[in-house]
Amino acid sequence: MPHLPSQTTILLLLCFSVLAQKAPEFDFPNFEFPDGTHLKDHSDKGGILVYGDSSCPACKKAQGHLKIRHKRWKEWGFPVV
């Protein structure tokens, strides 16, 4: 069924209204580390939190990939915790 011009116009206006909305702003939680420092002491961009250590094969593979990414994240200014 072909679209009518009015349907196309309404769809186009709806797309523009969605695109014109302001992106949400997020405040990163200010995590406190065991040494008493806070996440915002390290960076105002937020941080990359890496959790856990596991012996399953998929986890070991993922940890290997994370080690490669740590260097890039640090170059971009994100603290890796």
pTM of the model: 0.29
**CA–CA separation, 64 and 60 (whole Å):** 6
Range of the domain at 58: 25-81
Q: What are the helix and strand counts (H, E) for the chain? A: 3, 0
* DSSP type of residue 33: -
Q: State residue 10's pLDDT score.
A: 77
Q: State residue 13's pLDDT score.
A: 72
Residue identified by tokens 């695109």 is 19
43 occurs within a structural domain: yes
Number of domains in the chain: 1
18 occurs within a structural domain: no
- Note the Cα 51 to chain centre separation in Å: 16
- Residues of the chain short of pLDDT 70, as ranges, are 1-5, 15-16, 18-31, 39, 42-54, 78-81
Q: State residue 37's pLDDT score.
A: 78
Beta carbons within 8 Å of 72's beta carbon, 6+ residues apart: none
